[in-house]
Amino acid sequence: MVQLDSKQTSTVMPEHSHLLKNKQPRIKNINSFALMFGIMIAMAILTYILPAGQYERVEIDGRTVVDPSSFTFIESTSVGFFDIFTSIHQGLVLGAPIILFVILFGGALGIMQKTGTIDAFIQALAIKFRHRQFIVIPILVLVFASLGALIGSAEDTLVYIAIVIPLMMVLRFDAITGFAIVMLGTLATGFTAGITNPFNVGVAQTISELPMYSGMGLRIALFTVMYVFTVFYIIRHAKKVQKNPELGIYGKFNPNDTVNLDVSSKMSIRHLLALLVLLGSFTLLIFGVIRLGWYISEICAIFILASIVMSLICRTTIDEMTKGFINGSKDMIEGALIIGFAQAILVIATNGNLIDTILYYVSSVLGNIPASVNAVGMLFLQMVMNFIVPSGSGQAALTMPILAPLADLIGVTRQTTVLAFQLGDGISNLVMPTSGVLLAGLSIAGISYTKWFKWILPYLGFLTLIAIVFIIIAQAIQYGPF
- Residue-level pLDDT at 452: 93
Cα torsion angle, 399, 417, 66, 97, sign: negative
**Phi, then psi, of 443 in degrees rounded to 5:** -65, -45
**Rounded Cα distance, 250 and 307, in Å:** 37
User: Residue 430 carries which DSSP code?
Assistant: T
Closest alpha carbon to 365 in 415, 421, 406, 424: 406
Helical (H) or strand (E) element with 54: strand 53-54
302, 51 contact by CB (below 8 A): no
- Residue-level pLDDT at 153: 79
Q: Residue 140: how many CB atoms within 10 A of its CB?
A: 25
Q: Residue 453: how many CB atoms within 10 A of its CB?
A: 13
- Residue-level pLDDT at 271: 92
Amino acid at 435: S
SS3 content of the chain, % helix, strand, coil (to 5): 70, 0, 30
Amino acid at 392: G
Where does 116-174 have alpha helices with state H?
117-128, 133-151, 161-170
- Residue-level pLDDT at 156: 66
The pTM of this model reads 0.75
Q: Which residues contact 86 (CB under 8 A, 6 or more apart)?
A: none
Compute mean pLDDT per 10 residues along the chain, 482 residues long, and list them.
Answer: 36 38 47 82 93 86 78 90 94 87 86 86 73 84 91 75 79 90 92 90 91 93 97 95 88 67 73 91 81 81 92 93 92 82 87 87 82 92 80 83 89 95 92 77 84 94 96 95 90
User: Residue 64 carries which DSSP code?
Assistant: E
- Residue-level pLDDT at 11: 37
- Residue-level pLDDT at 111: 92
User: Residue 198 carries which DSSP code?
Assistant: I
**Rounded Cα distance, 95 and 436, in Å:** 23
Backbone torsion region of residue 152, taken as left when φ is above 0, otherwise alpha when ψ lies between -120 and 50, otherwise beta: left
**Rounded Cα distance, 173 and 176, in Å:** 9
Closest alpha carbon to 288 in 269, 270, 272, 301: 301
The CA-based dihedral angle spanning residues 470, 471, 474, 476, taken in that order and rounded to the nearest 10 degrees:
-110
- Residue-level pLDDT at 262: 60
The CA-based dihedral angle spanning residues 206, 208, 212, 215, taken in that order and rounded to the nearest 10 degrees:
-150
Rounded to 5 degrees, what angle do the CA atoms 237, 248, 262 make? 90
Q: At what angle do helices 333-351 and 96-115 cross, to 10 degrees?
A: 170
The count of C-alpha atoms lying within 13 angstroms of the C-alpha of 189, restricted to the half-sphere facing its C-beta, is 29
User: Residue 72 carries which DSSP code?
Assistant: E
User: Residue 8 carries which DSSP code?
Assistant: S
Residue by residue, what is the 3-state secondary structure of 74-105?
A: CCCCCCCHHHHHHHHHHHHHHCHHHHHHHHHH
Q: At what angle do helices 269-291 and 296-313 cross, to 10 degrees?
A: 170
**Phi, then psi, of 57 in degrees rounded to 5:** -110, 145
Q: Which residues contact 234 (CB under 8 A, 6 or more apart)?
A: 137, 141, 177, 180, 181, 184
- Residue-level pLDDT at 374: 92
